[in-house]
Structure formats: C-alpha cells, structure tokens
Amino acid sequence: MELADTGNLDGILDVMNKNILALSWAMPPLVFPRSIQISRALKGLSQRGWKTRVITVEPAAELHAEQDALLESIYAPYYEIERLEVREEIQPSSWWVRMQRKASKPANTIHNNWRRRAYCSLKKQKMSGNADVLLTFAQPWSDHLVGLMLKKKYKKLPWVAHFSDPWVDSPYTSFSSEGERKEACNQECEIIDKADAIMFTNAYTAELVMHKYPEHWNEKVFIVPHSFDAELSQYIQPVCNDKEVLRIVHAGNLYSLRQPLCMLDAIKRLLESGFNRENLVFEFVGFVDEEFQNNVAEMELSDVVVITGAKPYFESQSIAAGADVLLLVDAPASESVFLPSKIVDYMILNKPILGLTPAKGASADLLRKMGNWVVDSDNEQAIFNVLNDIISVWRENQLSSFEPGSDVINQFKLDDVSNRMVSALNHAITQYR
C-alpha cells in the first residue's frame, strides 16, 4: 500500500487567505482525547498562518464529560469557535421539524440536531466566503456525514476528512442490525470517495480501512500522528509520592474491551508471592468500567488498585507526572491498529511506559522504539514477569534514568506533525487550482 507523500509542502502553494472551516463535536473545555488533539493541531496550523473557524457543540450538552477551563484558555487564541446548542429542551427545533419527528422519530434527537444545525452553520460560513478548505474530525462519525452533505452542495470545496481511528472495521463499533452495518459501510465508502484528502494517525489503521477500496484512492491518504505540545509542561506540577512506593499510573478511560483484567490476576499473584502491598500502587485516573471496579473489590485489591476517577486534563497529567511508570491498556487482539493519543501525552512526562497491548500493532511498535515494556494484555504470566522486572529496576533506582530516543520523540512534536497536516490541506486545495 503506497500512501500520499507526507513531506513538508508548507509554503509551496499560494493560498490567499488559508481559511479553514472545521467541524468537530469535541473541543475544549471538554476533556476528550479528540478535543485535546484537535485544539493542539489547530495551534500548529495557526503558527503556519492558517486561520480556522471551528463549529462545535455547547459543552453543557455533554452532561458527564470532564471540563478544563485552563486547557480551553491556552488554545483559544489559535482559532475562532462557534458553539451550537443541540439540546432540544434548550433550543427547540422549528415547528416543521417537530412535525416530521412525530411521523419519524430520530434515534437520537441531540445527534439529529447536531447534523442539521452544523450543516446550516457550515453552509452559512461557506456562503460568506470564509472557507478555502473544509476539515472534519471524526468521533462522532456524523461529523464526516455533515461534511459529505456540504461537499455534495459545493463540489469544488476542498475537503479533508480526519479519520484518526477506523470506523466500520473497529472492534469497538457495534451495529444493531446487518442493515445498519451496510449503511455505515456505504457511508464510509462515499466519504472516502468524495473527500480530497484522508488523514489517519498510523499506517496500520490506514491499511485496515483502505484495503477495501480502489488502490488509487491511497493517493489521498496521509499519515498524521498525534502530537505533543512541549509548552504545556509549564502547567504540569508533578504530584510528589513516597519513594518507598512503586506507583504505576493510567491516565484515561477504561471501557468496553479495554480493561486489564488479567493484570489484576498478575497483581494478586505478585502480592501472594511476598511483595509488600504497602509498597505498590496502581492508580487509574479517569472513567473506569463497573466490571473492572467490581473485580478490584472482589479480589480485595482496593488498597493497591486505586480508582481516582475523572479529573481535568492538567490535574490528570500532574498525577501521571508523579508516577514511576505509566500504563497503557489496549484491547486484546492478534494485531492492534490503534495508536492512542495517551502515548503521545505521556511523552512530555519523560517516564517509562508499561504497554498492555498486542505484540503486533502501532502501540507496540512505538513503545519498543522508545525502549518501553510491551506485553499482551490477556497474558497473565507475561504481565507477572514484566511486573517483577519493573520491581527489580525500581529497587535499583533506575526508573528515573529512563530516556526515550529523541529520534522517535521528534516525530510527534507539534512542528513536525503540523507540517504533515499542512501537506494534506495543500493536497486537497491543489485539486481545484
């Protein structure tokens, strides 16, 4: 599979205004991996002269999401933002739409409002002449469906669709029926067909998604990884911890297939083998599935496996900065196509990482290059062995000397990643110049 050239094309085109019209449900102050990465990417584009207007959702529409005002204030200077109210009880739809819904009620009123209102807002901005290129970010995938609607109306509007993760091929995607699955497959195909450039965060995902389609479509595929923003380090204050305690921290949510249940068995076995439980803490900062919490309680590990819950972004990063080892958890699989933004967020902390991830995959490849531990998340014996290795290094006071290779880290710096994104934007624009 040959992908589009991702070299630095910044500056080779004479784009008069460099105006980006962007659509993303997730933006700060909402604390989602996507909102953090998107605002960071738009900062990098701003520093290269691109001006972005983002259509997004009112934060209050996400009832259970964590918010971080500091994160919002840091990135606010780099783009303009328009927030849409999608809650029907706050902003009712027109009488005509309400009448239609009596005949055919949508599965999700909020998402239905989002698609309609986002499309109207994008169309208004396009008509005002404030768009050289359209940029849509998935999660939810309806963002791309809105982009597709606009592309059908304005066929010469350059469109870049940022997929990040796979859609219909993802193990986390479930369909209520075969008909729903076929509809999603058709939608994905049409989006990739009509978009002028497609972005994925790693080659594994690109290969999984694109193998279904004509080979020449790969000419518009760009690998644009997640990035880290070194300037954020000034806002992270490491939480001081007892040097007599080995602290392993996971910052982020655990859900669905992404649950380290075999790790709990390994921890239990480690304690039964004689390791002092007072010298060990696994801390989970973020949402944790009820099944995992119940397993911790049933195995009497609540004093060792601490579930802190969701925190604002910088508070979460400060807790992680005080860890001895950081933890990554991927779902069990023969191969993992995911490259979680968590790894890139961890990079700024300069800590060793224990990756519970399939031996073959994007995460494993990167962690090995950085000199970290990689072990299958469903292999209890292997996890037990790795924990013993970590304990040995900790006892020798060697964990603090961890230094990931700079040649690997540099690929994820905001500057380099921004250049790759500019390449995708320029590719889309040149289709109509």
Identify whether residues 423 and 407 lie together within a single domain: no
The mean-pLDDT minimum among 30-34, 309-313, 403-407 falls in: 403-407
Q: What is the CATH number of the domain that holds 294?
A: 3.40.50.2000
Alpha carbon distance 405, 409 (integer Å): 6
DSSP, collapsed to helix, strand or coil, labels residue 311 as coil
Identify whether residues 252 and 283 lie together within a single domain: yes
Identify whether residues 380 and 286 lie together within a single domain: yes
Alpha carbon distance 286, 297 (integer Å): 18
Residue 107: inside a domain, yes or no? yes
Per-residue pLDDT tens over the stretch 322-368: 999 999 999 888 899 999 999 999 999 999 999 999 999 999 999 99
Alpha carbon distance 388, 122 (integer Å): 55
Alpha carbon distance 85, 22 (integer Å): 17
Per-residue pLDDT tens over the stretch 206-226: 999 999 999 999 999 999 999
pLDDT attached to residue 5: 54
Q: What's the number of domains the chain is made of?
A: 2
pLDDT of residue 14 exceeding 60, the answer is no
pLDDT attached to residue 326: 97
Alpha carbon distance 28, 388 (integer Å): 40
pLDDT attached to residue 10: 45
Residue 96: inside a domain, yes or no? yes
The pTM of the full predicted model, rounded to 2 decimals, is: 0.92
Residue 7: inside a domain, yes or no? no
Identify whether residues 52 and 74 lie together within a single domain: yes
Identify whether residues 91 and 173 lie together within a single domain: yes
Alpha carbon distance 285, 277 (integer Å): 20
The share of the chain scoring above pLDDT 70, in percent, equals: 96
Distance of CA 3 to the CA centre of its chain: 22
Identify whether residues 177 and 253 lie together within a single domain: no
The share of the chain scoring above pLDDT 90, in percent, equals: 81
Identify whether residues 262 and 297 lie together within a single domain: yes
pLDDT attached to residue 4: 59
Q: What is the mean pLDDT of residues 298-303?
A: 96
Identify whether residues 250 and 376 lie together within a single domain: yes
Per-residue pLDDT tens over the stretch 75-111: 999 999 999 999 999 999 999 999 888 888 888 899 9
Q: Using pLDDT thresholds of 50, 70 and 90, give the confidence band for residue 242.
A: confident
Identify whether residues 169 and 203 lie together within a single domain: yes
Identify whether residues 424 and 404 lie together within a single domain: no
Residue 340: inside a domain, yes or no? yes
Residue 117: inside a domain, yes or no? yes
**Rounded to 5 degrees, what are φ and ψ at 185?**
-60, -45
Identify whether residues 191 and 315 lie together within a single domain: no
DSSP, collapsed to helix, strand or coil, labels residue 285 as strand
Q: What is the mean pLDDT of residues 271-282?
A: 96
Range of the domain at 95: 19-227+413-430
Identify whether residues 297 and 210 lie together within a single domain: no
Per-residue pLDDT tens over the stretch 45-83: 999 999 999 999 999 999 889 999 999 999 999 999 999
> 214: cis peptide before it, omega within 30°?
no
DSSP classification of residue 93: P
Q: What are the structure tokens assigned to 77, written together?
A: 């200077």
Residue 36: inside a domain, yes or no? yes
Alpha carbon distance 190, 370 (integer Å): 38
pLDDT of residue 165 exceeding 50, the answer is yes
pLDDT attached to residue 64: 87
Per-residue pLDDT tens over the stretch 263-275: 999 999 999 999 9
Length of the chain measured in residues: 433
Residue 6: inside a domain, yes or no? no
Handedness of CA 407, 330, 260, 291 (dihedral sign): positive
Per-residue pLDDT tens over the stretch 99-142: 888 888 888 899 999 999 999 999 999 999 879 999 999 988 89
The order of strands in the sheet holding 51-57 is: 80-84, 51-57, 19-23, 133-137, 159-164, 197-200, 221-223
Residue 222: inside a domain, yes or no? yes
